[in-house]
């Protein structure tokens, strides 16, 4: 019994983690890497910064790319650079011009700048400079807009070297693909009840010629296939061992929380007991018992749950919620509630 209860408390903790994990939104983004171009007026061919990193000959670059057609929300744009010498004042500025155009537009008609972003970077350290706010209002129509950026650093133009630009965005979900956000339910969702042979619930046909009988207190279906008797437990799982329990505690349309505040308090009480803080455990349990609790279709008031006495030892006798539910016998409670493991 002790191990069973401890496993029960442990399973609640796992369920809490699963629910919190499920509720936590997943960070997801797509990225475009824009490599620098080599142009004569900006130093010509690039260099290998620290031998391995391809970069511009100086801290100046022109970049151009198309806004992706699956862009749903713009996230960021970061110019990546490597300084080869320290800035005289400890920091430098990245100056940015931005142009936007679509097919058939004049390419110089929608340009703005310079915008300035101050940054600090160590010598030969890869550094990202965020210029997203300078681009956000110029993203335009996904799949139609093009962006061009002219960026240069000051006063370290001759010793900075630009590696490229990271353009990150949230992609639109593919059409026709189910997503968690698209699964919206309204009103009461009612599951089919287990009636008769259960075929209405499973959607599987009941075997021809089968009959339902009581066998040692269990409802089973039995039939013959080529002369051999086949048996299926209607109150057990497909392994023939895992029990299904039908109770009046939860009706067919009763809202059911996987975990709730009562579960959390019971986990806390278990932790107090594990730490041999018996008084702390009883304080938590009595705080619960002093409130009105709703479990499934049953509501229990503090008048039905008198305070528990603090036992002298871990093995001291403690009452359970089930023991004081005499007026509520219609609820088929098969577990002890609000009684910690011993």
Domain match, 199 and 287 both: no
The pLDDT of residue 165 is above 90: yes
For the record, the structure tokens of 19 come out as: 């629910």
Is the same domain home to 237 and 312? no
Domain match, 23 and 98 both = no
> 40 and 163: one domain?
yes
Tokens for 96, please give them.
């940015």
Say yes or no: 220 and 304 in one domain. no
Domain-terminating residue out of 229, 245, 261: 245
User: How many domains is the chain built from?
Assistant: 3
Domain membership of residue 188 (yes or no) is no
Residue 294 lies in a domain: yes
Q: What distance in Å separates the CA atoms of residue 12 and residue 270, rounded to the nearest whole number?
A: 11
Tell me the residue range of the domain where 326 lies. 1-30+248-342
Report the pLDDT averaged over residues 202-219: 69
* 100 and 159 inside one domain: yes
Q: How far apart are CA 309 and CA 281, in angstroms?
A: 11
Whether 279 is covered by a domain: the verdict is yes
What are the backbone dihedrals phi and psi of residue 10, each rounded to the nearest 5 degrees, phi first? -65, -40
CA dist 150 and 165 (Å) reads: 12
**Distance between CA atoms of residues 332 and 342, nearest Å:** 23
Q: Identify the pLDDT of residue 89.
A: 82
Q: Model-level pTM?
A: 0.48
Considering 8-22, 25-39, 102-116, 241-255, the range whose residues carry the highest mean pLDDT is 102-116
For β-strands 30-34 and 160-171, DSSP reports them as antiparallel
Flag whether pLDDT at 132 surpasses 70. yes
């Amino acid at each position: 019994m002790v191990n069973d209860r401890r496993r029960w408390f442990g399973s609640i903790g796992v369920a809490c983690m699963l629910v919190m994990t499920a509720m936590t939104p997943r960070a997801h983004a797509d990225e475009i890497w824009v490599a620098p171009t080599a142009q004569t007026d900006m130093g010509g061919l690039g260099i290998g910064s620290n031998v391995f990193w391809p970069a511009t000959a100086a801290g100046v670059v022109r970049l151009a790319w198309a806004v992706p057609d699956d862009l749903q929300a713009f996230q960021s744009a970061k110019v990546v650079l490597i300084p080869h010498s320290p800035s005289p004042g400890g920091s430098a500025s990245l100056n940015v011009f931005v142009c936007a155009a679509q097919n058939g537009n004049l390419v110089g008609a929608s340009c703005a700048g310079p915008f300035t972003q101050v940054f600090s970077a160590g010598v030969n350290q890869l550094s990202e400079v965020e210029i997203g706010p300078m681009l956000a209002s110029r993203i335009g129509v996904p799949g139609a807009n093009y962006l061009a950026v002219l960026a240069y650093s000051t006063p370290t133009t001759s010793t900075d070297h630009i590696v490229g630009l990271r353009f990150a965005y949230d992609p639109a979900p593919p059409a026709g693909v189910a997503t968690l956000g698209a699964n919206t339910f309204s009103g009461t969702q009612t599951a089919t009840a287990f009636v008769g042979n259960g075929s209405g619930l499973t959607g599987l046909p009941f075997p021809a010629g089968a009959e339902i009988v009581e066998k040692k207190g269990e409802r089973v279906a039995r039939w013959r296939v080529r002369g051999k008797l086949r048996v299926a437990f209607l109150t057990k799982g497909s392994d023939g061992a895992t029990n299904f329990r039908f109770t009046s505690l939860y009706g067919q349309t009763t809202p059911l929380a996987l975990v709730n505040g009562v579960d959390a308090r019971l986990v806390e009480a278990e932790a107090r007991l594990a730490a041999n803080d018996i008084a702390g455990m009883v304080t938590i349990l009595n705080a619960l018992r002093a409130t009105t609790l709703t479990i499934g279709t049953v509501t229990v008031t503090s008048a039905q749950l008198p305070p528990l006495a603090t036992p002298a030892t871990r093995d001291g006798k403690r009452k359970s919620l089930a023991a004081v539910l005499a007026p509520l016998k219609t609820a088929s409670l098969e577990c002890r509630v609000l009684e910690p493991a011993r």
